[in-house]
């Protein structure tokens, strides 16, 4: 608990057996802030689910078929809400992002300063020193510039996988309407910005190494075009030229859902 609020860390996993234990150990080292960890294995081919099932304070879930990174996040957030999370922190289990920042991110939400907090690899200027490939860095900066222009925002990056959300925010944002692919990350931030929330950022050191997950150049290009498409959709909707259901909230402000829909039948929990 953090200020009497239940903190659940979610880990969308795919072939993360090599780094899961290390990441999990650091997550639970955070001054007893984290109440529970949810690991969702997106039908990988290694022992991720079996390892997760042995870890303390952990719910291990496996998709029967691969749903994609966005589909994995949808399962993570549904389960976290179902299990009573007040604060949900997403940490990749590949140890690219240090879990040591969980207390800072949770604090900003628990103290009602922000509803969404990102761990930015760009703030602090150490992304390249941490091993980010130059082509990824250039693409990150270019896409971020374009997205800030289209959304009217001022984020340092949109592409980090280290994020924290309040329960109230996840109950309002229609994340189920987003893609099951990597562009989900971009779409949910556009939704949050549309609803008028300020998205906070804290500096996060970056680490790139052999076991850290990373999409290849071709998938990165697809993701990049998806991000630009999201920004254009946002701008056209903001100008009133189109109507996009993605940007409509699930419920009006102040609504408190009495129940959260259970995960779909694609899941098999262990």
First to last CA, the chain: 25
User: Is 185's pLDDT higher than 50?
Assistant: yes
Place of tokens 């996988």: 161
145-181 per-position pLDDT tens digit:
999 999 999 999 999 999 999 999 999 999 999 999 9
| β-pair partners for 202 | 119
Alpha helices in the chain (DSSP H): 17-27, 48-52, 69-82, 102-110, 134-151, 167-172, 184-194, 217-238
Mean pLDDT rounded to a whole number for the chain = 90
What are the residue ranges spanned by the domains of the chain? 7-253
214-261 per-position pLDDT tens digit:
667 788 899 999 999 999 999 999 999 999 999 998 865 554 543 333
* Fold of the CATH domain 7-253: Spore Coat Polysaccharide Biosynthesis Protein SpsA; Chain A (3.90.550)
Tokens for 176?
């189920």
Residue 210 pLDDT level (bands cut at 50, 70, 90):
low
pTM score, two decimals? Answer: 0.90
Helix (H, G, I), strand (E, B) or coil at 96: coil
């Amino acid at each position: 608990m953090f200020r009497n609020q239940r903190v659940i860390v979610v880990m969308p996993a795919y072939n993360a057996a090599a780094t899961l234990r290390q990441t999990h150990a650091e997550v639970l080292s955070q001054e007893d802030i984290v109440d529970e960890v949810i690991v969702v294995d997106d039908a990988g081919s290694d022992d991720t689910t079996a390892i997760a099932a042995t870890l303390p304070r952990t719910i291990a879930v496996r998709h029967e078929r691969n749903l994609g990174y966005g589909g994995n996040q949808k399962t993570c957030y549904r389960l976290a809400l179902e299990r009573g999370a007040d604060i949900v922190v997403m940490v990749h289990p590949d140890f690219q992002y240090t879990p040591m920042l969980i207390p800072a991110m949770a604090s900003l939400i628990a103290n009602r300063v922000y509803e969404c907090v990102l761990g930015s690899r760009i703030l602090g200027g150490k992304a390249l020193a941490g091993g980010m490939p130059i082509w990824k860095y250039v693409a990150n900066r270019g896409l971020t510039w374009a997205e800030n222009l289209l959304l009217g925002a001022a984020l340092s990056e949109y592409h980090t996988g280290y994020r924290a959300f309040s329960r109230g925010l996840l109950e309002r944002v229609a994340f189920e309407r987003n893609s099951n692919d990597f562009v989900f990350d971009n779409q949910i931030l556009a939704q949050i910005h549309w609803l008028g929330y300020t998205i906070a950022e804290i500096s996060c050191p970056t680490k790139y190494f052999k076991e850290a997950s990373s999409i290849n150049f071709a998938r990165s290009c697809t993701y990049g075009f998806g991000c630009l498409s999201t920004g254009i959709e946002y701008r056209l909707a903001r100008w009133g030229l189109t109507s996009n259901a993605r940007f409509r909230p699930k419920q009006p402000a102040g609504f408190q859902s009495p129940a959260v829909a259970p995960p779909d039948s694609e899941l098999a929990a262990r």
